[in-house]
Homo-oligomer: A and B are copies of this chain.
Amino acid sequence: MKLKNDMQLFFAEKIEGETAFLSETESRHCLKVLRKKEGDCLQVTDGRGICYTGELFIIKKRLAAIGKLAVVDQQERRHPLLSLAIAPTKNNSRLEWLLEKAVEIGLDELQPFVSKHSERRKINERRLSDIAVSAMKQSGRYQLPEIQPLVKLEDLLDSQIDGKVMNLVGSQSSDMDISEIDLSGKNKIRLFIGPEGDFSEEEWSLMHQKDFVFVNLGNFRLRTETAGMVGVTLINSLINKI
């Protein structure tokens, strides 16, 4: 499935005038791993929809930049945005692969939360950001998904009063198929996936009160990260049809 890509894609958060400044991580990847040389022609994205080509130059020993930028391609942000609110898995690597896959597919935002039965109450935001950057580049996207800070589920539920956000929650007892959902007038679709130990009774009840839409994700019992993956795939497919 991987298309041939003649030029490597880099990411630069900081673009000033005609110059994109690579971070230390991106510079190391560019200079040490891929052994790019001054004057090489590279592609770089700002993670906000634009892809440029330009020429590599070295600012100092371990820091690279890409100059003489010219826009070569653009991607508009799709609407509605696709957000995944999920309790981090006990095993870090399961959340990490979910993020990698979800970014390839089209995720716009990851919102980790801690709920009553969460087994993991800390995340490595920096590592998740690096995975998002890497998956964005690998999949040829120019939009970098946002990794939100970890919050308490109750705080997240309290803040949900925007009528343009549609909140879905994966529930095995629901018969509602994601393909039946009406996305019109929404600017964000947020899917909530509970922790390995499931949401608590109070949490389910609060989501009911907040008019969450309970959606079915399949016939069988899914692991947390599989449920996230299935939900993101099905909602993404629905957004693509708009």
What is the interface of chain A, defined by CB distance below 8 A to chain B?
1-5, 97, 101, 104-106, 138-141, 170, 172, 177-179, 193-194, 196-198, 217-224, 226-227, 229-230, 233-234, 236-237, 240-241
Chain B residues near A218 (CB, 8 Å)? 105-106, 236-237, 240
**CB atoms of A219 and B240 under 8 A apart:** yes
What is the CA–CA distance of A141 and B217 in the complex, to the nearest angstrom? 15
**CB atoms of A222 and B179 under 8 A apart:** no
Q: Which of B101, B170, B198, B241 contacts A226 (CB 8 A)?
A: B101
* Most chain B beta carbons < 10 A, residue from A170, A226, A229, A237: A226
**CB atoms of A220 and B2 under 8 A apart:** no
Chain B residues near A139 (CB, 8 Å)? 220-223
Q: Contacts A222-B104, A226-B101, A240-B219 hold; do A193 and B141 have CB atoms under 8 A apart?
A: no
**CB atoms of B221 and A2 under 8 A apart:** yes
What is the CA–CA distance of A105 and B196 in the complex, to the nearest angstrom? 17
Q: Which of B172, B179, B226, B240 contacts A105 (CB 8 A)?
A: B226
Chain B residues near A101 (CB, 8 Å)? 226, 229
